[in-house]
Chains A and B, each alone.
Chain A
Amino acid sequence: MGTSHTSSGVRVTVTGLRKSYDGVPILKGLDFEVAPGEIFVVMGPSGSGKSVLLKHVIGLESPDEGQILIDGEPIDGEHIADKYRMAMVFQSGALLNSLTVGENIGLYLSEHRLKTEDEIARIVAEKLQLVGLEKLENRFPSELSGGMKKRVAIARALAVEPQLILYDEPTSELDPLSAINIGEEIYNLNQRIHVTSIVVTHDRDLAFGVADRIAIMHQGEILFIGTPDQIRASDIPVIREFITADFNLKKHA
């Protein structure tokens, strides 16, 4: 497993991906490709299958049909996790509550014995600084706010020096300022190490702010893939409804 500080993104290819739970189809044949170093945002209403898609891309779920390739190799192939460094930022953060913030961030490095304890401590401090949370190494996740947990989760993903990073609703439950900070982190990380990023969100501001391309998902299908400008110009009713939806309560009162 490599540990270099300069990462390079991988190509992700999804073909004919289908998945059902208890006979209910959740993913209905998805096809798309994400180029190395691209920020690819999957946007759509809740329940459209975005998070399930993400779990397939990182190999946490197996598809009923179709396949996911990382640089041309199937995600369920042997030693794929040893060959490519991948990380995921979960919606809840998914920090290990029994470990401190520092232990969480250094977990990948310590468990795979990639660095000495001193080096890990230095990397942890560096990643915490990067997400604006200096000197929090010894705190436990239960002592952090939702936004801080998300940033620690990003710091943990950064410690992997990933070639592919997946974000599951990175700005949900965050105030607008924290959401902007997270968006900047996603963008800066991509610029710095050219990591391939797949962001699942229903936050339109985040999507249009960071994406190279956006895929609109609806009821388990991808309706459209395009640049932010192409999405804005789309006349597909479902997409227009989703990107223009706004509170209009007072108007009707």
Chain B
Amino acid sequence: MLFWKSLLALPTAWRHRRKISEQLFEIGNASLLMACVLSLFIGGVLALQTGPVLVERGLSSVIGGVVGLSMCKELGPVMMSVLIAGRIGSAMAAELGSMQAYQEIDALRTMNINPVHYLVLPRLLAISLALPMLVVFSILVGWTGGAAVSALNHDIGVSFQGYFQNLREVVEVKDVLNGLAKSFGFAVIIGIVSCHQGLKTIGGPRGIGRSVTKAVVNSIVLILIMDYVLTRVLMVFDH
């Protein structure tokens, strides 16, 4: 319901550009460093786990492709979305929950200001723009982390050059777009679930706490379910 109301509010988005850019800045500012660290180590662990197995079978040259595809089609979008659900979804639910608990949203309504237009739409648009951008960043950092481990770990011993050559051969633009499409879907889930939980907060600090927990847990569960559904749907376009 909130999703449809937000869609209907889309024509008013330009009017809220200042709020959207503020939210974008906040999301980027709050998540960039964490995204960088997380992605670097995800890429590294991927290389560390798969590298020796591939070396054993004489397939060490394909490690760039394995890490590259995993990062852009699965781990980049999913891990970034889980991170954003925890970091930004919780903040959205807490902020709107506190506004609900302290009658700020009632005050908006009495001024004939629609809370969906004023509060939900800017957050939803900002997260829908920010998450795919963070995923691009995450993919690039993850690839670098994988390359570093492949080159520095003696059990793998694949050079930077060899790693990225294989990555270029295997990973296509459509694979990156596949990951971005997923992350856009996940962003909408986080935005809607978090705003919905925030707006339906009842009571004081305890109610806000409950809303935050529900926003994060429900977002993550829905992200993982939608991950399967979207992967299945996007596989159709792969062939």
> Which residues from chain A sit less than 8 Å from chain B, CB to CB?
1, 55, 58-60, 81-82, 86-88, 90, 92, 94-98, 107-108, 111-112, 160
Contacts and interface: CB of A to CB of B under 8 A. Distances in A.
Interface in B64-113: 95, 98-99, 102-104, 106-113
Contact of B112 (A60, A81, A94, A96): A81
Nearest to B117: A111
Contact of B104 (A1, A87, A94): A94
Contacts of A107: 111, 113
B137 interface: no
12 contacts: A1-B112, A59-B109, A81-B112, A87-B111, A90-B103, A90-B107, A92-B102, A95-B107, A98-B95, A108-B113, A111-B113, A111-B118
B17 to A, nearest CB: 14
B102 A58 contact: no
A68 B185 CA distance: 43
A59 B112 CA distance: 11
B108 to A, nearest CB: 8
Given A81-B112, A87-B110, A97-B104, 18 more contacts: A59-B109, A60-B106, A87-B111, A90-B103, A90-B106, A90-B107, A94-B106, A95-B104, A97-B98, A97-B102, A98-B95, A107-B111, A108-B111, A108-B113, A111-B111, A111-B113, A111-B118, A112-B112
B107 A88 contact: yes
Contacts of B112: 1, 81-82, 108, 112
Contacts, number: 46
Contacts of B95: 98
Contacts of B104: 94-97
A117 B78 CA distance: 43
A96 B109 CA distance: 12
B110 A86 contact: yes
B97 to A, nearest CB: 13
Contacts of A92: 102-103
B107 to A, nearest CB: 4
A97 B98 CA distance: 10
Interface in B105-144: 106-113, 118
B113 A88 contact: no
B110 A96 contact: no
